Amino acid sequence: MSFVQLVESVGEEELFNPTPEHLALREMVREFSAKELEPQAKECDEAETFNQQLFQRLGQELTLFGVTVPEQDGGLGMDPVASTIIIEEMSAVDPGFALSYLAHEVLFVNNFYISANAEQREKYLAKTMDGTWIAGMGMTEPGIGTDVLGMTTLAEDCGDHFLLNGAKQFITNATLGSVFLIYAKIHKEARAISSFVVTSDLPGFSVGKKEEKMGMRSSPTAQLVFEGIKLPKENLLGQVNAGMTHMMRNLEIERVTLAAQSLGIARRCLEVAAHYAIQERHQFGKPLSSFGQIQRMIAEGFAEYQAARTLVYTVARQISPLTRKSLGAASAKLVATRMAEKIGREMIQVLGGYGYTRDYPIERLYRDAILLSIGGGTNEAMQKNIIKDISMGL
């Protein structure tokens, strides 16, 4: 029995793969990750390069863009569990590549489809679902983190168009993106925001310096700058000042899928460390796994991973565009991201000096895991949100 089979022997199959279609999807993505992602993951991390050709194959060959888009509009017509499955499986091999997928698929395609009208879907959806266009989302700003309503990007209403000025910081896929979902205020002093489609070919659009990052190095991150961009009125998504609704609705699936990245990272770290301690490394004539300290780290890590996985998939089954589960999404992200960081660090300890080198993937996976307690709302923000939801429910 393989390590992955051991993992899947714990818990109810229906929770993690609710239908035969979910199971087939998992098997397909797992095979793709092993055959296609694995060989290039280390090289792309070290060179800080994004495999655009492989990324576009996700849309052109595997039809993995538009997972939550209804079949009549060209998507798979599946649910957030399907998105969770895809991102968990990719992240067990190349979390950076999976992050770019998440930004394109969850932050843009899913969010755009729910918020757009028929004409906007007709204009933009096909090119993002077949991989012709790479997409992303812009919410975070320089100097503005979790204080979303403090954003300063302004889309001034000029009658026949909007005039967009401002900047967005730490934007995944910024250097390669053709289209972005951008949040901005209509009025400088407003306490409401709106959402817009912004393409990179518009005059006044530019990309800042590519960030040099600790982890997720195969996923490009940069600043987006808007200088006097004339946005047609039809680029507004939904109603004026409805952006917060769009944002909060999509934050739930974003947080669950970021938690799914943590699951993939943790599973791979445990798999590598368990194989090393049980089959590869002997100390004082015994397998490394015979020592109590090593047993504790691997055993507790396995149990904590299984607990987090159960929570993440439970919440994934509950969320939808019409159902708010902010308490569950925040809890899943908080628990899973902490778990992955802890397991990554302790599995490095299991391997000792080898864990600290790049001979094994745990070093890279641990660096990647650290982002997940920051992106999509910091873990401190998750704690604040959880307390707020509990207080409102009492």
Q: Which residues are catalytic?
A: 254
Q: Which residues of 145-174 are buried (b: 16+ CB within 10 A; e: fewer)?
A: eeebeebebbbeeeeebbebbbbbbbbbbb
Distance CA 340, CA 346 (A): 10
Residue 193 to residue 154: CA distance in whole angstroms: 9
Considering only CA atoms, give the Rg of the chain: 21
Residue with tokens 């993002």: 128
Question: Can you read off the two tokens belonging to residue 381?
Answer: 């923000």
Report the DSSP beta bridge partners of residue 283.
286
Is residue 68 within 8 Å of 78, Cβ to Cβ? yes
Buried residues in 224-260 as b, exposed as e (16+ CB within 10 A): bbbeebebeeebbbbebbbbbebbebbbbbbbbbbbb
